[in-house]
Amino acid sequence: MLAGPVARLLAACCLWLATSGAAAAQAYTYTVGEAQLQPTQDVTLRAGESLYIPPNTVYTGQVTFEGTGQLIVNDWVWIAATVALPAQATLTNHHLISLEELTLASGATVHNAYQCATTALVLAAGATVQNDPEAWMQVYSEAFANAGTISNCGTFLAESWPAGGRVVGCTPLPVQLISFAAEPAAGAVALRWHTAQEVNAARYEVEHSADGQLFTTLSQQPARGAGTYEATDKARPGPQYYRLRLVDADATFSYSPVVVVSGGAALVSRAWYNEIGQRLGAPRPGFLLEVSTYANGAVESRKYLQE
């Protein structure tokens, strides 16, 4: 059984569960190549959850959806069969995607910044495809149904052009993010991003995560025109994850790719405990308390609540 501060933290968490009723699901980010998602493993994204395919990673898993509002960011290669984006879901592609079929429900968005190919493309009314300048997108068969909106700023090729929907000229996104980086700097983490274009942009929110899954807001800066922005965070042991939330004047928003900074202290041990204090051999769905110990003596505890 647990003792000391960890036991008190666990008791407080259990009391919170007993007095608050059912816990709401948290927004997790599944990063391909890490323990929770291997490059060939299928995944189901629930409402508000995210999938990140990092640089130098080829992902061939199938993605299914439960609920709405998911986010997928591809920074390398994604090869899949059928992808059916639900309402308010967003797929952002910064490198290469090859699909058998891509379907967008009303309110879903695809933002293609490099190369995307699909055998079939189906847009419901209210769905949007944004094809950036220098980007390339191709539909290989006549299975192309567009009841939504395609904003083409680059190259868009198709075997046929169906009636209905709209194909409009170049209407680039409000913010064109050129780069976003995070680096260790004298006991801190220096964050820097550069924009080439800002149209009706309101602010930038810097978000942090200790596990690459649950993000919280660190700070925010108002948009002040294209250029370079900087922010800092305190140094922490272990890998730390950062992303930008780009908010427009109309309150719509998008996310940058996730960047990772390695902490100065190596991880020595990590353990998981359930709601009655039993140690688990591996993380599992449900209530979970994670305790991590680092080489510099630091101990961190984090709790997770899942449906």
Please give the helix or strand (H or E) that residue 224 lies within, else none. Answer: none
Residues 67 and 110 in one domain: yes
- CA–CA distance, 215 with 192 (Å, rounded to integer): 18
Residues 275 and 244 in one domain: no
User: Tokens 């709405």 — which residue?
Assistant: 68
Task: Write the CB contacts of 284 (distance below 8 Å, at least 6 apart in sequence).
Answer: 272
Specify the pairing of strand 267-273 against strand 288-294.
Answer: antiparallel
Residue 76 burial (10 A CB sphere; 0-12, 13-18, 19+): middle
Residues 158 and 49 in one domain: yes
Please give the helix or strand (H or E) that residue 264 lies within, else none. Answer: none
- CA–CA distance, 117 with 180 (Å, rounded to integer): 26
Residues 100 and 155 in one domain: yes
Amino acid at 276: I
Residues 141 and 210 in one domain: no
Residues 194 and 298 in one domain: no
Q: How far is CA 36 from CA 42, 151, 161, 212, 303, in A?
A: 11, 35, 41, 11, 17
Question: Cβ–Cβ contacts within 10 Å for residue 123, how many?
Answer: 27
Residues 37 and 145 in one domain: yes
85 DSSP β-pair partners: 104
Residues 162 and 47 in one domain: yes
Ranges of H-type helices in 48-111: none
CB-side neighbour CA atoms (13 Å) of 259 = 19
The CATH number assigned to the domain holding 235 equals: 2.60.40.2060
Of 168, 194, 215, the last residue of a domain is: 168
Instruction: Please tell me the total count of domains within the chain.
Output: 3
Residues 148 and 131 in one domain: yes
Of 246, 261, 276, the last residue of a domain is: 261
Residues 183 and 297 in one domain: no
Residues 77 and 146 in one domain: yes
Of 146, 168, 190, the last residue of a domain is: 168
Residues 218 and 295 in one domain: no
Tens-digit pLDDT string for the chain (307 aa): 444 443 443 333 333 333 333 333 335 678 888 777 899 999 999 887 888 898 889 999 999 999 888 889 898 999 999 999 998 888 989 899 999 999 999 989 898 988 999 999 999 988 989 888 888 999 998 788 888 888 888 898 888 777 676 767 765 556 767 778 888 777 788 999 888 777 788 899 999 988 777 889 999 999 988 888 999 998 887 788 888 988 888 777 777 877 888 765 566 778 887 777 778 877 777 777 778 776 655 667 767 665 4
Full domain range(s) for residue 161: 32-168
- CA–CA distance, 87 with 83 (Å, rounded to integer): 13
